[in-house]
Homo-oligomer: A and B are copies of this chain.
């Protein structure tokens, strides 16, 4: 990491391990297990609590909330609203992952409702961020049809409109708060071949924004760098997406602040 976009990248990972923040993850059925293991590997304490009967109450206890609409349904949307509302009212950081929000009317409306609770960070693939900014995208399902580069202007527009940090993840990630921007390189070509990697990353962003004294901007960049460094390392020994998936967890669990700081590839945008 040559230019010091964030000087404390590595320290933030150490903070996550030391503080072990309780992160409420409302995520999809596909991702739950892998996302929980990702957070555990980083030292956080994930809790998958989604039901409307308790999601708001639990958000009052959690250090951060993450909401991913991957396998959305009406009862889950009720829980998402409850948790996002409490997070917003209590000034707790929360992360929105608008999976394939452009695919159906139900998703489009859900995301608009959730945006009203002012997410601290929005993380998506290029197609999702472009569509969220109101731009034309070529996404169909959950996989991106567009490159990160094509989504950069959309991300800037979206960040200014929402006052959220916006992260577009892909081959090289792009992060912006509407004023500054940064790119995070690394990762592996296996990542889009392992389901729920993006959803797990959303959870990890939740762990980083949960710890003091990081700002959302720093926390998002650190979480993405952490994910990319672990991905690059894990890919070296993997023979396919199946082995990559578990090696990524081993690698992330073994990564410390110094290793992250030394290997992160972050450049100002």
Binding site for B on A (CB under 8 A): 22, 28-34, 36-37, 40-41, 45-51, 53-54, 57-58, 61-62, 70-75, 100, 103-107, 140-143, 192-196, 239-243, 245-251, 253-254
Contact = CB atoms under 8 A, between A and B. Distances in A.
Contacts of A253: 193, 240-242
A48 B141 CA distance: 9
A227 to B, nearest CB: 14
A246 B143 CA distance: 22
A53 B32 contact: no
Copies of this subunit: 3
Contacts of A22: 140-141
A147 B61 CA distance: 22
A185 to B, nearest CB: 23
Given A54-B105, A75-B73, A33 B36 contact: no
B54 A106 contact: yes
A254 B242 contact: no
A234 to B, nearest CB: 9
B248 A53 contact: no
B51 A72 contact: yes
24 contacts: A30-B36, A31-B33, A33-B33, A33-B196, A41-B193, A41-B240, A41-B241, A41-B242, A47-B103, A47-B141, A49-B103, A50-B71, A53-B104, A53-B106, A54-B105, A61-B140, A240-B250, A240-B251, A240-B253, A242-B247, A242-B249, A242-B253, A243-B250, A246-B246
Nearest to A61: B140
Given A46-B141, A53-B73, A57-B105, 5 more contacts: A31-B33, A47-B100, A48-B71, A53-B74, A54-B72
A195 B37 contact: yes
A187 to B, nearest CB: 16
A73 B34 CA distance: 21
A6 to B, nearest CB: 26
